[in-house]
Each structure stands twice: as C-alpha cells, then as structure tokens.
Amino acid sequence: MTRGTVGPPAFAPEPTTTQQRIQRTTKRGKAVPRTKLGGGLAAAALLALTATAGAGQAAHAAPAGPDLTHPGPRLDGDGEIDGNGECTYPMKKQIKGTPWALQRLVLDQLWRDTKGRDPQGRPVRVAVIDSGVDNDNPQLKSAVDASSGMDYLPADKSDQPPPQDTGEADAKDEKDQKGKKEKQQPPPPPPPPRDGTDDTVGHGTKVAGIIAARPNPGTGFVGLAPEAQIIPLKQSDDKGNGTPQTMAQAIHKAVEEGAKVINISQDTVGARPSVVLEAAVRYALDHDVVVVAAAGNDGADGKSKRTYPASIPGVLAVAASDRNNERAYFSQSGDFVGVAAPGVEMVSTVPKYGQCVDNGTSFSTPYVAGLAALIRAKHPDWKQHQVVAQIEQTAERGVNGRDRYVGWGVVDPVRAMTEDDHPIDKPTAGTAHRDIAAPAAQPLIIGETPQQRRERYATYALGGVIATAAVITGTTLVARDGRRRRARRDVP
C-alpha cells in the first residue's frame, strides 16, 4: 500500500488514451467523436453527445438561450463502460481514513466562515449535470434536493411495468389450471424516479460527494462544501442516450432552479462544440452562474487538444493533479486549462452506501466546484468571473503565470478562502499570492529590549553559579584548615 492510501477498496487504473477515447462509425462511414464522462475508469460510461450543430443552428439560436425543442442526432450502437469493476456498490464497509486530498487542507481554516451557507443561512445550490445522483447514500440524503432534479434521458422501456392482466382466460387455460396452485407473482418494481436521483453508473454520485457529502460516522471522507445543496440533473448514462440538446436543457434547468455553480464532469472530443451547447453555457454565464468543467483524460500522448464544454470561453476548465502537485499523466493539456485539482486516488460516495476510490478529471472538477460554492457562500455579491479569478489567482503555481498543463496552478482552497479581502476581475502573472497588507510595525520599547533582558538574566544566572561555587570552595578550605589545627594540638 502506497503512503497515504485510505482504506481497502481497490481503485481503477488511471485513464489512458485508448480507454477514454472511442470513436464510432456512422452509416455514412465517417468517424464521429463521442463525448464521455470526464474521468473515472471504474464507471467511465461513454455518452452519445455529438458536436453536430451547424451554421444554420447558429443563425436560429435565440439571444437568450438555445432552441431546445428539437432533439439532436443519435449515434448508432450502445455506449460502453471502461473499467475493471473493482469499484462496486453499494460498498459493505466505509473508508475510515481521511483522503489525501483532504489531509492537505486545514479544514478549520477552510470552514472558518462557512461550510456552504451564505450569511442568511441559505445553502449555495450546485447543479451536477451527470449520470444522476443517488440520494440513498447517507452522506448525500440531506444534500440532494430531489424536488429540483430532472432526468433528461428517455424512459427505459424495460423499466416499465408489464401490461395488467384483464382476468379473462379461455376455457382451455381454465382447464389446464384446474387443480393447480397458482403461484403468486411479486408485483413489478416501480419505475426509477425521473428526478435525477437514479444513478446506475455511479459517476454522478461520486461527483456530488466530492462537492457536498455530509460527515458520517465511520469515515473520514466529507465534501469540500458539506452544507451546500446539490441539484441532480441526469443527462448521461451507459447506453449513449445523451445529446447536446439534453445537456443544454440541463444547463437551463440549473439556472432556473437557482444554481450558483454548475459542475459538468464530461467532455467531447469534437473539433468544435455544438452551437446549442455553447449557447446554453453562455446563457448560464450571463445569469451569473459559475460553470466548471472537466478538461478530459486524453492527455497521455502529451498533445494539446480542445475539449468541450471546458474550452468554451468563460468556463473554468479543470485538469487533474497528483499528490506532488504535478499534472496527472492522463490529464488533457491545452491553453484552455484554468486550474488543476487533485484527481488521483479520489475518495467519494457511491450509490446506496459507502465510498470508493477513482481517478480522473471528473473528480478534480467537483473539488473546484466545491471551492466555488464556498466562495459564493462567503461572498454572495461577487460575480461569477470574480469567483473564477479568485480560484485562479490563489492557486499554487510552478511558474510565474499560466501554462497549458495546470493552467494558473493547483488550487489552494484555504488560501482562496482567506486571502479574499477584495474581489478581482482576472488573475495576474507573477506572484501566486494575493497582495497582503504589510505587517504592523512593532511598538517602540523604551528601556531595555527583550533581547537585552534575556542577556541580563543570563548574566545573573552565570554570576549566581560562580558565587555558589566560591562559597562551596571557601567552605571546603575552612574545614580543611580546621582539621589541620586540631591535628597539631593533639601531637605529644
């Protein structure tokens, strides 16, 4: 077990280019890039989002938001799940230790002012657009607002109850059944909820946990903003049912439900984004919502490429970092990367019960979204771009500026929550620290200084030692001389 590993569950291997990028072939013979969940090999379900909006769509896009009335094209075939299956759920036991990504934080300082509630006591609302958020997990039960959630995927016919028996039977059936005991069939299970709380993949449940999981006895894991509120918006699954239109609908729903932060742990590998999706993101930004998205896991080849929605201007794109604050080898690089955050061996909640360990920019993104929720709770008057600038400016940098691997650096949540005396509109190159007031001058001391006092005390102590030694020596000499005089008188 490597140093800092937090418990028994094995974690899936880190994302690789082959595992995380799959292309399908359409009937026309063209390779169509598929979008996918941004990370997490144990449950990295590939979606069927396609970046296929053309110039005609751009011309008809409404200024206030995209036209969401027409469904987008669908890809042939089912989606696929990568991973070794080790991250199962529900887990039988919880992970007891504190994850390394939380060990690096002084939580008392981080939560000194807020844990996700604004000055009026209202929880900051964070929309998780993903595979759903299972609120049966005890750490998420009170965190998820199911009444505001939505499932944008088509209902699965296999989940529908079978046709009801009319009670009519022909004479032959009655004769065949005569004298036989009828077997009682259990009632069909109810269809899954359509409020975004059905997560068969587990991906969205992990994402939500990193943002707002509540403390629970028996585990050291907790969300970064444990009093924030999650809006569950299910837009992806393991069957390739998502489209740019459903993601755009989810973004609009998040804005309508009062989300202050939107987390999108998904990315596409298309050459350009869907116009509908881009318009939806702009709609959210114009309504003062912080949009945080995963940079992607296709970075093992070292080549820079744009992913969406992370590359859309105004979105805070998040790369993954490791324990050494270096870019995780799989993390996608590019000039669109805003910051990096822990994305290796990340502990979080799974459906029903317990926690699991996974890897990917999918889990770096909610780390940043949780921080954004804390800043919005403490500073409700700050604009969305100022929240982003605060996160970027206070990040720990390896260079005096921005690079294509970790952007402005690895996020430092404690610094972002303490070096915040005023908002800024954009980060600046150079020092990674915000300007801090110079320390107050020490008061002028009339008389001896503390150093002089210490030296005086040392002199007294030395003098005392010398005086004591002299007394002992004198006493010894007197005693010796007295014995000599008595000896001479006793001589006959």
The DSSP line for 270-307 is: SSS--HHHHHHHHHHHHTT-EEEEE--S--TT--B---
pTM of the entire predicted model:
0.71
Residue in 130, 134, 199, 358 annotated catalytic: 130
- Exactly one of 148, 311, 362, 364 is catalytic; name it: 362
Cβ atoms of 75 and 26 closer than 8 Å:
yes
Does 451 lie in the same domain as 412? Answer: no
pLDDT of 271 reads 74
Where is the domain boundary, 383, 418, 453?
418
* Whether residue 150 sits in one domain with residue 87: yes
Any domain includes 1: no
Nearest to 428 by CA among 405, 404, 402, 406: 402
Q: Going by C-beta distance under 8 Å and a sequence separation of 6 or more, which residues neighbour residue 383?
A: 288, 423
Active site residue 422: no
Single-letter code of the amino acid located at 263: N
**Do residues 57 and 104 share a domain?**
yes
Evaluate if residue 43 carries a pLDDT over 80: no
| 352 shares its domain with 471 | no
Are 288 and 406 contained in the same domain?
Answer: yes
DSSP strand pairing (229-234 vs 125-130): parallel
Tokens of 430: 């150079």
pLDDT at 56: 33
From 82, 131, 199, 203, active-site residue: 203
Per the CB < 8 A criterion, the answer to whether 67 and 388 are in contact is no
- Same domain membership, residue 134 and residue 224: yes
| Alpha carbons within 13 A on the beta-carbon side of 297 | 31
267: CB partners within 8 A, 6+ apart = 35, 36, 38, 293, 294, 295, 296, 307, 308, 309, 310, 332, 361
Tokens found for residue 71: 């469904």
What's the domain count of the chain?
2
Lowest mean pLDDT among 177-186, 336-345, 473-482: 473-482
Q: 361-378 and 203-212 helices cross at what angle (nearest 10)?
A: 30
Residue 469 lies in a domain: yes
| Lowest-pLDDT choice from 113-127, 188-202, 385-399 | 188-202
Pair 491, 367 in one domain: no
- 149 and 25: one domain? yes
Q: Report residue 284: phi and psi, to 5°.
A: -65, -45
Q: What is the pLDDT of residues 65-119, one digit of tens each?
A: 333 333 332 222 222 222 233 578 899 999 999 999 999 999 999 999 999 999 9
pLDDT score recorded for residue 302:
84
Q: Is the pLDDT of residue 265 over 70?
A: yes
Is residue 406 over pLDDT 60?
A: yes
Q: What is the CATH number of the domain that holds 53?
A: 3.40.50.200
203 is a catalytic site residue: yes
Give the CA radius of gyration of the chain.
Answer: 32
Structure tokens at 24: 């399908």
Tell me, yes or no, whether 394 lies in a domain. Answer: yes
What per-residue confidence (pLDDT) applies to 36? 54
Per-residue pLDDT tens over the stretch 162-195: 555 545 555 555 555 555 555 666 777 777 788 9
Cα 470 → chain centroid: 72
* Angle at which helices 361-378 and 384-393 cross, to 10°: 120
**One domain for residues 360 and 461:** no
Considering the domain boundaries, does residue 432 fall inside one? Answer: no
- Listed in sequence order, the residues at least 6 apart from 68 whose beta carbon sits closer than 8 Å to its beta carbon are 245, 248, 249, 252, 276
32 is a domain residue: yes
- For residue 57, tell me if it sits in a domain: yes
Q: Are 69 and 218 members of one domain? A: yes
Q: Are 19 and 41 in contact (CB under 8 A)?
A: yes
The Cα 360–Cα 370 span in angstroms is 16
**Residue ranges making up the domain that contains 466:** 445-492
User: In the numeric block, which tokens belong to residue 487?
Assistant: 């000896």
| Residue 436 counted as domain residue | no
Question: Is 50 exceeded by the pLDDT of residue 41?
Answer: no
| Structure tokens that stand for 140 in this block | 């998420």
